[in-house]
Structure 1
Amino acid sequence: METKEMRGVYCDTLLGLAHSDERIMVLEADLMKASGTIPFKQQFPERAVDVGVAEANMVGLAAGLSAAGKIPFAATFGCFASRRVFDQFFISANYAKLNVKLVGTDPGISAAFNGGTHMPFEDIGLMRMIPNLTILEPSDPVSLKALVQECAKLYGCTYMRLHRKAIQPLYAEDEVFTLGKGKVLKDGTDVTIIALGAILVPEAIKAAALLEEQGISAAVIDMHTVKPLDEDLVLSYAKKTGAVVTAENHQIAGGLGAAVANLLSTHYPTPMEMVGIHDEFGQVGTQAWLQTYYKLTAEEIVRKVLSIRSKS
């Protein structure tokens, strides 16, 4: 299947929605080129607002537009969409029970050469503390298109991590996605790998293949929605396989791993390991180098699986 640039899919999906729903709007903080939304502005200039380098103001404006009946998709780099605008998003959008769709681009190591200041390893942890907020990270172009459409249908605030670069599709074009319901990419009986996002879901699939060569049957789940977590799916596979490894492009404290660990510890204690960032800041580098440095790899997932099995 054709590799597609994720930001292009994001814009195309919003254009498709905008043609049938005049409430759809796009807000940017001087990053339309980076987010890929210039075509939206060209087609719907009256529904595209660039606030300049003023991210908190962008969220406040999005809240106002939502209160007026619009469906605003407001995007900026993930570091700014989380750390910089947290209070505005918390109070003006979520506490007010509005309908703001906040998008944080370049999550984690995908920020690459923008370096540690622009490398959000903590955004999910921050957002998980907001009551009733839906948090998601698509893993490929197909899931991105479907989940943006689902966000538009849902009344309520959402936070989506958007990998901007080109990604090979993992799913068939007609795959159906539902917010809050994970996707089983591969069944298995010995361990469950629960992964998040465009970097770690493909690595989880590779890890499962490597484990298969060692006679270990690994299930792989694309947990595209971190909140609400698909608790039934996690618990059913924990009971089925008896071991869980999570994998994410984020701090293990506060992210997917923490959400899964909290669920399992209170409902079905299960041997578990986490692949992710271990209490570190970001830094400058290519995505490939950063992925190796922070051990966000199939090999590290395999190592964690073998570690669990060695203790059983």
Structure 2
Amino acid sequence: MRDTFVKTLIDIAKKDRNVHLVTGDLGFGVLKPFWEQLPDQFTNAGIAEQNMIGFAAGMAMEGKTVFAYSIGNFSTLRALEQIRNDCAYHNADVKVVCVGGGFAYGALGMSHHATEDLSIMRALPDVTVLAPGDSIEAEWATKAIYECKGTCYLRLGRGGEKRIHDKTGNFQIGKAVKIKDGERIVIFSTGAIFDEVSRAFEILRKEEIDPALYTFPTVKPIDMQTIEECSRKFKLIVTVEEHNILGGFGSAVSEVVAELTGMKAKVLRIGLNDKYSSIVGSQKYLRDIYGMSAEKIAAKVFECQKDVL
């Protein structure tokens, strides 16, 4: 995803000299093509993410569209006051980019695990929040936030994610993308965890369970129409996110379902169960430990559907 982001941003920046990329002293292997081709549109702010966001806000106030890029929590939680007060409050054209959502930097420990970022960023008024599931969605999302005025948050995987889509399509901020139709159960996914969801789907098919699949590249504004339609059509909605289940994607879906009247689906949220990811290990290992591997997703769906269907 990050390579696709940089490639897409280069194409955008070559056409718009007001686009500027600022980084917090990282991503040199990935960002090198940008600064080599567009050195006057690139700034390394150093290991000073709060200053980086303040700097980005100042440039945005002078007419620039600024992409502020860093690892996981560094571009968000470390600089939260600056995002809130300097960017979002003033509707500044700053695009905060996190590379390595969830457990992507698993071996570096809890400080590098981005597991609260979606909930915190979606709580800020006037901030658009996107979490693409593959490289195609990352391309769509990068173009979309460039065109979207105001402060946006883009949460990327670290790279190597399974491709969901064969070609680009009609992408809209705030719209989910149907991957396949199914019966009785629908699985909603956001971000790079779709790798596990797609394998969980294959496991469930062997048990003669045929869920529908949707990916939600946009967490805020959430696609209320799709959620409502699925809540009427299916018995069980399953949300999967590489993130705390409190306040994040699953909560956004549940908020919509809770306000519906009449018959509606039960919601099963799969993610990190309100705890810090204190264990160190690879992303795949941590997903399994915390119940987000394909096998554990499938097992949770299988158990829950017995009580609902």
TM-score category, normalised to shorter length: over 0.9
Supply the distance in 1 between the matched residues of 2:148 and 2:106 (Cα, whole angstroms).
32
Contact 2:91 2:126 in 1 (8 A): no
Describe the SS at the equivalent of 1:267.
coil
Matched residue, 2:6: 11
Q: What is the rounded CA distance, in whole Å, between the counterparts of 2:202 and 2:13 in structure 1?
A: 41
For the Cα contact (< 8 Å) 2:101–2:158, is it kept in 1? no
- In structure 2, runs of 5+ residues without a counterpart are none
Asked if structure 2 preserves the Cα contact closer than 8 Å seen for 1:252 and 1:276, the reply is yes
Specify the alignment match of 2:58 in structure 1: 64
| 2:25 aligned partner | 30
Residues 103-182 of structure 1 mapped to structure 2, 5 A cutoff: 103-182=97-176
Could you give the per-residue CA deviations for residues 260-296 of structure 1, whole angstroms, max 9, x where no partner exists?
1111111154211111001221232111211111111
Partner-residue secondary structure (3-state), 1:247: strand
Q: Which residue of 2 aligns with 1:3?
A: none
Deviation at 1:306, TM superposition (A): 2.2
Aligned to 1:311: 307
Which residue is equivalent to 1:255?
248
Q: Report the Cα distance in structure 2 between the residues aligned to 1:251 and 1:162, rounded to whole angstroms.
A: 16
Counterpart position of 1:232: 225
Q: Distance in 2 between matches of 1:299 and 1:233?
A: 27
CA deviation digits over 1:197-243, x for unaligned, max 9?
Answer: 11x21222222222222222201110111100001001111111121
**Contact 1:98–1:157 under 8 Å retained in 2:** yes
Q: TM-score, normalised by structure 1?
A: 0.94
SS of the aligned residue for 2:77 comes to: helix
Encode CA deviations 1:144-185: one digit per residue, 9 max, x unaligned.
111101110111111111112222321123333211101011
Q: Structure 2: which amino acid aligns with 1:271?
A: K
Instruction: Write the distance in 2 (CA, Å) between the matches of 1:174 and 1:97.
Output: 29
Q: Tell me, yes or no, if structure 1 residue 295 matches structure 2 residue 288.
A: no
Report how far residue 305 of structure 1 moved: 2.0
Q: 1:186 aligned to 2:180?
A: yes
Query: Where do 5+ consecutive residues of structure 1 fail to align?
Result: 1-5
Cα distance in 1 between the residues matched to 2:200 and 2:227: 19
Cα contact 2:131–2:217 (8 A) shared by 1: yes
Determine if contact 1:275/1:300 at 8 Å carries over to the other structure: no
Give the partner amino acid of 2:200: A
Q: Is the 8 A contact 1:140 1:167 kept in 2?
A: yes
Q: Is the 8 A contact 2:99 2:155 kept in 1?
A: yes
Q: Secondary structure at the match of 2:154?
A: strand
Taking the aligned partners of 1:137 and 1:270, their CA distance within structure 2 comes to 24
Q: How many residues align?
A: 305
Distance 1:309 1:173 in 2: 33
TM-aligned CA deviation for residue 81 of structure 1: 1.7
- Percent sequence identity over matched residues? 30
CA–CA distance in 2 between the matches of 1:127 and 1:105? 15
TM-score by length of 2: 0.95
Q: In the aligned structure 2, how far is the partner of 1:127 from the partner of 1:142?
A: 23
- 1:117-138 Cα distance to aligned partner (Å, 9 max, x none): 1112101111111012111111
Among candidates 265, 282, 299, match of residue 286 of structure 1: 282
Instruction: Confirm or deny that 1:43 pairs with 2:45.
Output: no
